[in-house]
Structure 1
Amino acid sequence: MSQTANFQRSTWSSRWAFILVTIGSAVGLGNIWKFPYMAGSQGGSAFVLVYLVCVLLIGLPLLMAEIMIGRRGRGNPVSAMLKVAEEGGRCSGWGLVGWVGIVGALLILSFYSVVAGWIVDYLFKALSGLRLENAEAAANRFKALLADPLQMMLCHTLFLALTVGVVARGVIAGIEVANRIMMPGLFLILALLTVWGGIAGDMPAAWDFMFAFKPEAITPAVILAAVGHAFFSLSLGMGAIMAYGSYLDRQSSIAGTSLWVALAGTLVGVLAGLAIFSLTFAYGLEPAAGPGLILQALPLAFSHMPGGQWFGVFFFLLVLFAAWTSAISLLEPFVAWLTERMRLRRPVAAWGTGLAVWWLGIGVCLSFNRWSGHTLFGLNLFELLDFMTSRIMMPLSGLAIAIFVGWIMTRAQVLDEMQLSGLPFKAWYLVLRYLAPLGILLVFAHALGWLAWLGWLA
């Protein structure tokens, strides 16, 4: 245990425990759900290639920076930013960056829990033998779920209760134990599904689609999409990584642990893509079908393939594990703030925060049906929360972190915490100061449509 401001803080039981929980934060719906359909809609192998480069040049340096702030500040994102800033004689206003991350994480959790509830619903349906005869039946099945507010609320409630229950148990007994169980299980299921896809699907076609080099498909739009996904798929800009980093001991290498997290997150996305696309091509489905590939096209394939029911059960269990571990990391930053700053008992902080998130999630459920006519700027509540967080709050938070570590923290602070020297440190520092902010700014401008307005993108 370590002591900060008379508050007893936990530390992860080992470096590998930290790696597992951080992988759990990074590996979410973005890796298993979004990566395959983005690859399918952005040119397949072209997107995958650029994405891998972006993870190395932008995602990994930012991941290291967030962990470093958390470990040096030894507190929730707000207090960690404040402590590191004040230690270097900088403005205390940098604590606002922590607040942007924490609030953004809670807003994301409110609709993330609803989407994860869809997975819960499909998992139960797969267990009961869901069978879809054609594409129209698959589409109608999903439309029926969106039109049923009570079913969506029930699944949203169940998923959020599972998430809060883990966080309420504490850092070691709750978060670490849950990830020690779920993350090995996730990789085991993913490996099983990939092998199964190779047997029942068209793995050569999936491999060619994802890895055959097609330079003509690399366009400015594909590059920006890859940069954006590299940023979001590592759970950056939400305070989660910073909060987890605050429980990391001084002996662990930030660079080494960050590399493991980036590699694991990328591996999950690649294996999920191979498993999904092997079935996509074998059953004549559209690889660029978007989110419907997961909740419409694949359930249709499961209905017609040998052993499809159990493939579906394992697949939706895999996605549920990924969503669950990420949701835990979204809730933890604010719960940490409440326990450290307000001195609330962890169960009270977790369930109280969960209740507030639950209420907002109820509004998200209704935005697909009874409240669908109520919009702001043409966006329903689900779309509005997604726009605010993914296109504004997360990029701004990530940009601020890159600037803070690269330009505001003293070089002595950074050197002391990173424990790097020579060329590796210079390369990381250079990328963090120049390339990462530029990449985030371009993603931010592209997400808001400014690049198209300026005529920079076709």
Structure 2
Amino acid sequence: MSTNAVITLDALPPTTHTKPISSQKWSSHFAFVMAAVGSAVGLGNIWKFPYMTGTSGGGAFVLVYLACVAMIGLPILIAEVTIGRAGGASPMGALRNLAAKYRASRHWQIVGLVGALTALLVLSFYSVVAGWALAYVPVAATGKLAGISGAASETIFNTILADPVGQIGWHTAFMATTVLIVSRGIGGGIERAVTWLMPMLAVLLVLLVAYAAAQGAFLDGAAFLFAPDFSALGTEAVLSAAGHAFFTLSVGLGAMIAYGGYLPEGVSIPRTAITIAALDTLCALAAGLAIFPLVFAHGLDPAGGPGLVFVTLPVAFGGMPGGDLFGALFFILLGIAAVTSAVALLEPIVATMVERGFRRSSCATMLGLLCWAIGLASVFSFNVWSDVRIAGDERTIFDWLNLLTSDILLPLGGIAIALFVGWAMPLRALGGEIDLGPRWLRAWRALVRYIAPAAVAMVLVSALMGAAA
């Protein structure tokens, strides 16, 4: 697939766009941080990280997770942003430029192309899940959650899944919003959106934490998240921490390479990466402090996975004063988090086409339509195609897309990026982009060369073994 794809793209017309992609820049350090944090803080952060923390040792898991961020997530994040700024192009173009400059194989560009295509596949089903969150906003705002039981809440969710027309409507609205933002470019689209949406997300998080403190069992929720239980830290929990430390920073998809391509000189990549990781973790923990006090106040099961958001939490909101308002705000929060992540998923492949001379608005529209069409398979896997299975497996089409992208292509992309920066780029070139002292620079390169790819490889093997079981 990769070889044919490269030949096809190489056959396209050369870049004739009057404004090369590398000439576009973030207007400020704040804008880049908001865009990068918006890419990292998505639907998974709102429910997955708090849930993993609570069921895997609480504060002990947080400590392991932070160590994994430092040794796995941050090194690869720095590597991706460095490739973007040094290469001055889309993920594919940046890798091609740097490979030529440092006399490495031209086939490294395949990593950028596959990452961008993986992001497109992720967006196809991510948009569907985001549509579920949007569908809950009017449900909560109109008081339909008031006093509902667990069974009634499950019925609401199942009704949404069983309605292909309704799902397509929300899926379409979400994709249209994403396309509109990306089509307007960096300054007029992505930057403007994230500099409004991310502060709005922060305000909503603070309001929801305050609501949970006033109406929920706040101390119980905080203990669930932060009380250390080292007995729960088995091999599986450590691998989960390593995997989430990698996945949560949106590396392996080309998004940070694309965003790094717009980063001006003079901005410290390591300091910015640390800020991004810190804000991402803070948002995830704040989400936990907003969710679990409400769950415990009603004696509900905190180990609900995806059902925690769409089945369990509506019961909690429905039984509390002001639950209709704050329930609607919570699902608006999910929608905002999803949009900022979706924009980062679409941008890498759009950037690839723009630098080859195609108009940004046309690329965003065509690729958005393609992504929307692929997303229909995920929509139908919950209703009209719910009985469709591939090779006799129990997984639906939705499950297979998630497995292919999240468990296989994403970690493979992260490993490849780490190996490229660690082995193909000379230390002197890295020192020109990464403002670390010689000792810290060598330590970082050792992490990128050995520790990070080995750890991500273990996560990949674990995921594949789990999928095959």
Give the structure 2 partner of residue 315 of structure 1.
330
C-alpha deviation, 1:452, in angstroms: 9.6
SS at match of 1:230: helix
Q: Does residue 197 of structure 1 match 2:212?
A: yes
Could you give the per-residue CA deviations for residues 159-181 of structure 1, whole angstroms, max 9, x where no partner exists?
11011010011111000000000
Q: Which stretch shifts more, 28-37 or 215-224?
A: 28-37
C-alpha deviation, 1:355, in angstroms: 0.5
Match for residue 403 of structure 1 among 393, 410, 419: 419
Aligned length: 450
Q: Does residue 133 of structure 1 match 2:155?
A: no
Cα gap change, 1:88 to 1:7, in 2 (>3 Å): farther
8 Å CA contact retained: 2:194, 2:340? yes
C-alpha deviation, 1:362, in angstroms: 1.2
Cα gap change, 1:213 to 1:452, in 2 (>3 Å): farther
- Structure-2 separation of matches of 1:124 and 1:346: 33
Q: Which stretch shifts more, 312-321 or 104-113?
A: 312-321
Match for residue 187 of structure 1 among 202, 208, 217: 202
**What is the letter of the counterpart of residue 439 of structure 1?**
A
C-alpha deviation, 1:335, in angstroms: 0.7
**TM-score between both structures, scaled by the size of structure 1:** 0.95
8 Å CA contact retained: 1:446, 1:452? no
Give the structure 2 partner of residue 449 of structure 1.
465
Cα gap change, 1:426 to 1:5, in 2 (>3 Å): farther
Match for residue 145 of structure 1 among 134, 152, 160: 160
**What is the letter of the counterpart of residue 443 of structure 1?**
V
Match for residue 260 of structure 1 among 242, 264, 275: 275
C-alpha deviation, 1:145, in angstroms: 0.9
- Structure-2 separation of matches of 1:227 and 1:239: 20
C-alpha deviation, 1:385, in angstroms: 0.7
- Structure-1 separation of matches of 2:16 and 2:175: 30
- Structure-2 separation of matches of 1:45 and 1:201: 20
**What is the letter of the counterpart of residue 351 of structure 1?**
T
- Structure-2 separation of matches of 1:360 and 1:243: 23
SS at match of 1:262: helix
SS at match of 1:288: coil
- Structure-2 separation of matches of 1:133 and 1:308: 11
Q: Does residue 390 of structure 1 match 2:406?
A: yes
Q: Does residue 337 of structure 1 match 2:344?
A: no
Give the structure 2 partner of residue 456 of structure 1.
none
- Structure-2 separation of matches of 1:57 and 1:192: 33
Q: Does residue 110 of structure 1 match 2:124?
A: yes
Give the structure 1 partner of residue 12 of structure 2.
none
Superposition RMSD on alpha carbons, in Å? Answer: 1.7
How does 1:36-55 map onto structure 2 within 5 Å? 36-55=50-69
C-alpha deviation, 1:125, in angstroms: 1.2
**What is the letter of the counterpart of residue 408 of structure 1?**
A
- Structure-1 separation of matches of 2:270 and 2:108: 24
Give the structure 2 partner of residue 305 of structure 1.
320
SS at match of 1:251: coil
Structure 1, gaps ≥5 residues long = 454-458
Q: Does residue 436 of structure 1 match 2:414?
A: no
- Structure-2 separation of matches of 1:198 and 1:314: 16
8 Å CA contact retained: 2:220, 2:293? yes
C-alpha deviation, 1:5, in angstroms: 9.2
8 Å CA contact retained: 1:364, 1:381? yes
- Structure-2 separation of matches of 1:75 and 1:451: 36
Identity between Structure 1 and Structure 2 (%): 45
- Structure-1 separation of matches of 2:150 and 2:59: 27
C-alpha deviation, 1:425, in angstroms: 1.6
**TM-score between both structures, scaled by the size of structure 2:** 0.93
Give the structure 1 partner of residue 439 of structure 2.
423
SS at match of 2:355: helix
Cα gap change, 1:369 to 1:40, in 2 (>3 Å): farther
SS at match of 2:44: helix
How does 1:267-306 map onto structure 2 within 5 Å? 267-306=282-321
Give the structure 1 partner of residue 93 of structure 2.
79
How does 1:356-371 map onto structure 2 within 5 Å? 356-371=370-385
**What is the letter of the counterpart of residue 282 of structure 2?**
L
C-alpha deviation, 1:450, in angstroms: 7.2
Give the structure 2 partner of residue 24 of structure 1.
38
SS at match of 1:448: helix
**What is the letter of the counterpart of residue 153 of structure 2?**
A
C-alpha deviation, 1:6, in angstroms: 6.7
- Structure-1 separation of matches of 2:437 and 2:367: 42
C-alpha deviation, 1:58, in angstroms: 0.9
